[in-house]
Structure 1
Amino acid sequence: MANGFIDKARILVRAGAGGGGAVAFHREKYVAAGGPDGGDGGRGGDICLRVDEHMSTLMDFRYKRKYVAPNGLPGQGNRKSGKDGDDLTIRVPRGTVVRDAETGEIICDMAGQDTFVLCRGGRGGWGNQHFATPTRQVPHFAKAGLPGQERDVILELKLLADVGLVGFPNVGKSTLLSVVTRAQPKIANYHFTTLSPNLGVVALEEGTSFVLADIPGIIEGAAEGAGLGHDFLRHIDRCRLLIHLVDVSGSEGRDPVEDFEAINAELAQYSPELAQRPMIVAGNKVDIVAHDREALEALKAHVEKLGLPFFELSAAAHQGTRELMYAAAERLQELPPITVYEPTYVEKPKEVDMSEPPTIEVIDGTWVVDGPWLRQLMANVNFGDYESRNWFDRQLRQSGLFARLEEMGIQDGDTICLYNLEFEYQR
């Protein structure tokens, strides 16, 4: 958008790969057969999200779309492990919802937490010190590190406001916000003065306060993408209460009742749940209708028939604004807290291209298997979970790996080494 307010962005994030393990042997004067002492590779850096209270938009993600954490360093001799890759922290505004780009499912909501690990770095590969056994005292192999997790995600900013001001453009929402808070939105007598949401804190007596959001004017067709309304309707998703501001002055030849119903229809089309949100209706610019209250009285009767509270005010003249804010604060006392979206994303193992056969070597009596797809496969497996281990076993069998090992002469009880995993082969 021309004003630089960005509330949605798509980025690719990739955690660092683990460093490779080292093949090394202890060499020291007067010490015979020092044995293997290759150190492990370092862990790859994580990708973390952290809330930055000074950020109010996703502007930082407009031009930078790819974030990659550093890899872990390889291990060294003398059992020295490689240095872990530094974590990469991405700062986002509070209220950012993170979704999986493919499914749209929610991964996390940065509303109630300060830090979230979005992608975990790959484990470092084992050095040859781990592969020494009584029958294999001089292992000449180590393992490469595993790749880090990679995600394609959508960041979506949903403001954390208690009360949202809704209505057609130029009905006085920005003026009301400037009167009841210390916010200083741009105000002028033309449509779409507000090109981005504005927030302000309404402070009343005895420590009572709430956050009020001025949402850019909604027009008919907004829920289908017309005007600016569609871009910003998401910012009232979290609001516990809506104040529907209607221009009752007739200065633009509009019918207040028709305007009221048109905005409600847009809210319902965008989100039926949002249309059911508690609402207070306020007829603004009453100072202009002192001698002709017909349109104002028609709106009041229509609104009260629907069971909604109605207030008369003139934001520009500071008339009735305080009473409206007290009513909003009182209503908020009865409402549940601001919505925090629960994660709906379930981690699923990604499809791996197994068309390229892995390399198989027999080293010191151990069947050492290596290959890019195998590293990727193992990065997706939680070996502490029974179902995940079973899935891993099925993938290996479907790949034809075990059939190849049998053709090459593997026997029951022989040791298979897959990176940081060793197990005995059983038919």
Structure 2
Amino acid sequence: MYSYLNKFTDFIKIYCRSGNGGSGIIHFRKEKFLGGPDGGDGGKGGNIIIRGNNKLFTIYHLKSKKHIIAEDGKTGGRNRITGSNGKDSIIEVPIGTIVKDICSNIIIEILNNNEEKILLFGGKGGKGNCHFKNSLCKTPFYSEKGESGKEFIFVLELKLLADVGLIGLPNSGKSTLISMITSSKPKIDNYPFTTLNPNIGVLNYKNFKKIVIADIPGIIKGASKGKGLGFEFLKHIQRNKILFLILSAEVIDYKKSYNLIINELNVFDQKIFKKKRLLVISKSDLLDQEFKYEIIKELPIFEKYIFISSFSKEGLYELIYYICNILS
């Protein structure tokens, strides 16, 4: 089990600068019969590297470190000794992180654990004077400076690569559900928008080492156009493998609520409907069997559905089995 991270951040700008190359040096060996230029090369500057880390679910840790600077290469030494290379600066990010320039052009995406990409190469080290000896110049008083490092402003944007996305209206029971089947402990209360950021939980079940579940903040009418919180976080469901459309048993008009969710998803991204999905009727402990039949009549005939209750545990095992069956 894994505790969710409540300091969720999915967008940040960072300044990066790779290391300067070290300078080559001018030096002459003075031993008898062994004289001559022996100035060594400068070391290479450190790279800026981005690396995927499947233990991270937010880029919040970068808020306090928005300037990433790699180490410079060291100056060369006598006896043709090359200066040491500058240490690389590694940026750890969650899987699903997109790196863009300030014009929103995508540069790279990190989609795998421990996947590494070089954002900026360090400057090359300069050559020492030992390289410039020739038949015309046996004592070159010349060496190269190291190349300057590169600098750039990157935009990091996170689209969660969760296995399961929980989608629904405010107060539909998403947070309670994720707290029941994972170790996530989201804020739960009986008023709209208690979930202001995606909650992340991890389900460990039998042979499945880690099933990542994301509770997306509640969707309201117009969310796809920026109303409420939905527009900001709807992007996180684009990479979910399975979607749970959650309707609370407490809603007055099930068909209207279902259509509201479907319409907002359709406006935001029609490709979402190609994903596996399940309609989940939560808080079913409030319903008798007759009422359940009435609800079923209102639901689309093509939609798979399940009744669950986080209070009575109804349907929770079947829900987990459905997830594992799809992911196996």
Q: TM-score normalised to the size of structure 2?
A: 0.88
Q: Answer whether contact 1:176 1:316 (CA < 8 A) is retained.
A: no
The correspondence for 1:264, drawn from 262, 265, 271, is 262
Q: Aligned equivalents of 1:211 and 1:265: distance in 2?
A: 26
Aligned to 2:3: none
Q: CA deviation digits over 1:339-398, x for unaligned, max 9? A: xxxxxxxxxxxxxxxxxxxxxxxxxxxxxxxxxxxxxxxxxxxxxxxxxxxxxxxxxxxx
Question: Quick check: 2:53–2:113 contact (8 Å CA) kept in 1?
Answer: no
Q: Could you tell me how far 1:49 is from its partner in structure 2?
A: 2.2
Structure 1: which 5+ residue stretches go unaligned? 334-427
Q: 1:81 to 1:332 in 2, by over 3 A?
A: closer
Instruction: Give CA deviations for 1:306-344 in whole Å, capped at 9, x if unaligned.
Output: x121112222221222223222332334xxxxxxxxxxx
Amino acid in structure 2 at the alignment position of 1:136 = C
- Structure 1 contact 163–239 (Cα < 8 Å) conserved: yes
Contact 2:41/2:128 (CA < 8 Å) preserved in 1?
A: yes
Structure with higher Rg: it is: 1
Residue of 313, 321, 326 corresponding to 2:308: 313
In the alignment, the residues of structure 1 paired with residue 188 and residue 74 of structure 2 have an alpha-carbon distance, to the nearest angstrom, of: 56
Residues 216 and 104 (structure 1), Cα distance of their counterparts in 2 relative to 1, 3 Å cut: same
Q: Which amino acid in structure 2 is aligned with residue 11 of structure 1?
A: I
Shift of 1:302: 4.7
RMSD: 2.4
What is the distance in 2 between the residues matched to 1:101 and 1:299?
49
The question of whether the paired residues in 2 share the 8 Å contact of 1:208 and 1:329 is answered with no
Residues 60 and 25 of structure 1: is their aligned pair in 2 closer, same or farther, counting only changes over 3 Å?
same
Going from structure 1 to structure 2, the CA distance change for 1:61 and 1:120 (only over 3 Å counts) comes to same
Which residue of 1 is the match for residue 76 of structure 2?
75
Distance 1:98 1:208 in 2: 28
Of 19, 30, 33, which residue of structure 2 is paired with 1:31?
33
CA contact (8 A) 2:51 2:110 kept: no
Query: What is the CA distance between 1:248 and its match in structure 2?
Result: 2.8
Partner residue of 2:172? Answer: 171
CA distance in 1, matches of 2:209, 2:29: 70
- How many Å apart are 1:143 and its aligned residue? 1.3
Question: Does the CA contact (< 8 Å) of 2:43 and 2:82 recur in 1?
Answer: yes
1:205-251 alpha-carbon deviations (Å, 9 max, x no partner): 5658733221121222222222222222222222111010011323x
Partner Cα distance (2:20, 2:209) in 1: 50
Q: Is residue 182 from structure 1 mapped to residue 187 from structure 2 by the alignment? A: no
What is the CA–CA distance in structure 1 between the aligned matches of 2:167 and 2:82, rounded to whole Å? 58
| Equivalent residue, structure 2, for 1:243 | 244
2: CA distance, partners of 1:278 / 1:196? 24
**1:96·1:111 contact (CA, 8 Å) conserved in 2?**
no
Instruction: Kindly report which structure 2 residues correspond to 1:285-304, keeping only aligned pairs within 5 A, or say none.
Output: 285-290=283-288, 293=291, 297=293, 300-304=296-300
**Which residue number corresponds to residue 115 of structure 1?**
116
User: 1:226-283: CA deviations, max 9, x gaps?
Assistant: 2222222222222111010011323xxx422111111122222222212332211012
Paired residue secondary structure (2:239):
coil
Distance 1:5 1:128, change over 3 A: same
Could you say what secondary structure the match of 2:155 adopts? strand
Contact 1:281 1:303 in 2 (8 A): no
Q: How far did residue 124 of structure 1 move?
A: 0.3
User: Which residue of structure 2 aligns with residue 18 of structure 1?
Assistant: 21
Contact kept, 8 Å, 1:249 with 1:289, in 2: the verdict is no
Amino acid across the alignment from 2:214: A
Per the alignment, residue 405 of structure 1 pairs with none
Please give the alpha-carbon distance, in whole angstroms, between the structure 2 residues aligned to 1:316 and 1:194: 20
For residues 61-100 of structure 1, the aligned pairs below 5 Å read 61-100=62-101
Asked whether the 8 Å contact 1:199–1:213 carries over to 2, the reply is: yes
Distance 2:193 2:256 in 1: 20
Change (3 A) 1:222 1:40: same
For 2:243, the aligned partner's letter is L
8 Å Cα contact 2:44-2:86 kept in structure 1: yes
Asked whether 1:158 is paired with 2:159, we answer yes
Deviates more, 1:121-130 or 1:179-188: 179-188
The answer to whether the aligner puts 1:332 opposite 2:323 as a matched pair is no
Q: Give yes or no for contact 2:37–2:130 (8 Å, CA) kept in 1.
A: yes
Q: 1:242 to 1:46 in 2, by over 3 A?
A: same
Q: Percent of pairs identical after alignment?
A: 38
SS at match of 2:201: strand
Number of equivalent positions: 323
> In the alignment, is residue 104 of structure 1 matched against residue 127 of structure 2?
no
Q: Decide which moves more: 70-79 or 47-56.
A: 47-56
Post-superposition CA distance 1:78-121 (Å, at most 9, x none): 32222221111222233323233334214131534343322211
Cα distance in 2 for partners of 1:44, 1:266 equals 49
1:130 aligns with 2:126: no
Deviation at 1:55, TM superposition (A): 3.4
For the 8 Å contact 1:249–1:286, the answer to whether it is kept is no
In 2 relative to 1, CA 209–87 (structure 1 residues): closer, same or farther, beyond 3 Å?
closer
1:172–1:245 CA contact under 8 A, matched in 2: yes
